[in-house]
């Protein structure tokens, strides 16, 4: 059952309206559109918004980068929703780095290089179609090589401005040049409801429908809409829960006894976490000087 009290959640309606508007603009403007789905709470809210915008359909592929170090429950959850919601699921990876063990857990590089190998590079080559993509075949119930190798020209991502410094400089529609670089000093103007939906050949655009949402908004919306989330976000009795999900070797849970969505909302509102960065459990951030700027410029999400 929905727990919507209209006046109380007017701000969620407002955020939802803008996000849906942006998703629809993106769908109308880009022939090759894809949406990144990290399995985390933000991109799952985004997926839910897409189902709202298109009335139960998600008319573009979801792209997931498998680092092979994701917590197992995340992958199970991904494939369950893929089946239940009839999603077009595309998975990419850096097979070479994994095979050659050029990873931090294997002890062969630092965290930043590992992120660059398993995430940034995998993402870049999956998006531009130069590395193999695996697509879920709903009839056979398994992944198979995707025949579509066209580059995605529009990429929807669930970044929020309040997450960390560099993301707060984003636009809803943010162009990237050929080498996926982000020119932070010279971004297009964006006013009223007009976004950068015209783009030169060879460039692509990142689309950020959740830019105005806060961590609290995300949880309030998960509660209002009853959106399924992985259990890793909740304390299972050990006084710990994950606040931000990533690869297990670089992600640590926070001290928290919140077992339910309601308790998380209460915890966020109480201010207990207000002086702790949301991604404080993500070790690579610290290694990048706190801003993630280096990784972000290269195309990290």
**Which stretches of the chain bind another protein, using CB under 8 A?**
2, 4, 7-11, 13-14, 16-18, 20-21, 24-25, 27-28, 51-57, 59, 86, 161-162, 164-166, 168-169, 171, 184-185, 187-194, 196, 198-200, 212, 214, 220, 274-275, 277, 289, 291, 293
CB of 159 to another protein, least distance (A): 12
Min dist CB 255 to another protein, Å, is 16
Nearest residue (CB) to another protein, 18 versus 109: 18
Beta strands in 151-220 (DSSP E): 154-156, 173-176, 204-207
Q: Which is nearer to another protein, 25 or 235 (CB)?
A: 25
- Asked if 241 contacts 258 with a C-beta cutoff of 8 angstroms, the reply is yes
Nearer to another protein, 237 or 271 (CB): 271
What the block records as the tokens of 21 is 């508007």
Q: How far is the CB of 262 from another protein (least distance, A)?
A: 11
CA distance 232 to 300: 23
CB–CB of 233/242 below 8 Å? yes
Distance CA 225, CA 3 (A): 8
| Pair of tokens at residue 254 | 């926070």
Residue 55 burial class via C-beta count within 10 angstroms: exposed 0-12, middle 13-18, buried 19 and up: exposed
Nearer to another protein, 80 or 269 (CB): 269
Residue number with CB closer to another protein (10 or 95) = 10
Cβ of residue 49: shortest distance to another protein, in angstroms? 10
Nearer to another protein, 110 or 198 (CB): 198
* Closest to 152 (Cα-Cα) out of 125, 128, 181: 128
CB of 294 to another protein, least distance (A): 9
Query: From CA 260, how far away is CA 202, in angstroms rounded?
Result: 45
Give the C-alpha separation, 169 to 151, whole Å. Answer: 26
Q: How far is the CB of 240 from another protein (least distance, A)?
A: 22
CB of 290 to another protein, least distance (A): 9
Cα radius of gyration rounded to whole Å, the chain: 19
Between the alpha carbon of residue 49 and those of residues 164, 265, 292, the distances in Å are 23, 20, 27
Nearer to another protein, 168 or 260 (CB): 168
Task: Look up tokens 């919507």; give the residue.
Answer: 4
How far apart are alpha carbons 194 and 24 in whole angstroms? 13
């Amino acid at each position: 059952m929905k727990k919507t009290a209209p006046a109380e959640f007017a701000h969620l309606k407002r955020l939802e309206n803008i996000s849906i508007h942006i998703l629809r603009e993106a769908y109308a403007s880009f022939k090759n559109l894809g949406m990144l789905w990290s399995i985390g709470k933000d991109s799952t809210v985004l997926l839910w918004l897409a189902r709202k915008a298109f009335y139960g359909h998600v008319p573009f592929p979801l792209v997931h980068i498998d680092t092979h170090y994701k917590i197992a429950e995340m992958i199970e959850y991904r494939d369950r929703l893929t089946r239940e919601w009839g999603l077009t699921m595309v998975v990419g990876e850096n097979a070479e780095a994994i095979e050659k063990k050029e990873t931090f857990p294997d002890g062969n590089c630092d965290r930043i290089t590992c992120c660059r190998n398993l995430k940034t590079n995998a993402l870049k080559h999956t998006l531009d179609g130069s590395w193999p993509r695996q697509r879920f075949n709903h009839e056979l119930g398994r992944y198979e090589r995707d025949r579509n190798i066209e580059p995605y020209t529009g990429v929807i991502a669930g970044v929020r401005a309040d997450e960390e410094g560099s993301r707060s400089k984003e636009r809803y529609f943010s162009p990237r040049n050929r080498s996926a670089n982000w020119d932070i000093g010279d971004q297009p103007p964006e006013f009223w409801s007009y976004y950068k939906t015209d783009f030169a050949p060879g460039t692509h655009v990142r689309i950020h429908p959740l830019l105005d949402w806060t961590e609290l908004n995300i949880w309030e919306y998960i509660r209002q809409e009853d959106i399924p989330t992985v259990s890793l976000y909740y304390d299972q009795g050990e006084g710990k829960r994950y606040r931000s999900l990533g690869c297990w070797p670089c992600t640590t849970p926070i001290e928290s006894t919140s077992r339910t969505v309601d308790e998380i909302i209460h915890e966020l509102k109480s201010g207990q976490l207000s002086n702790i960065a949301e991604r404080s459990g993500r070790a690579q951030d610290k290694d990048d000087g706190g801003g993630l700027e280096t990784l972000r410029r290269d195309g990290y999400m």
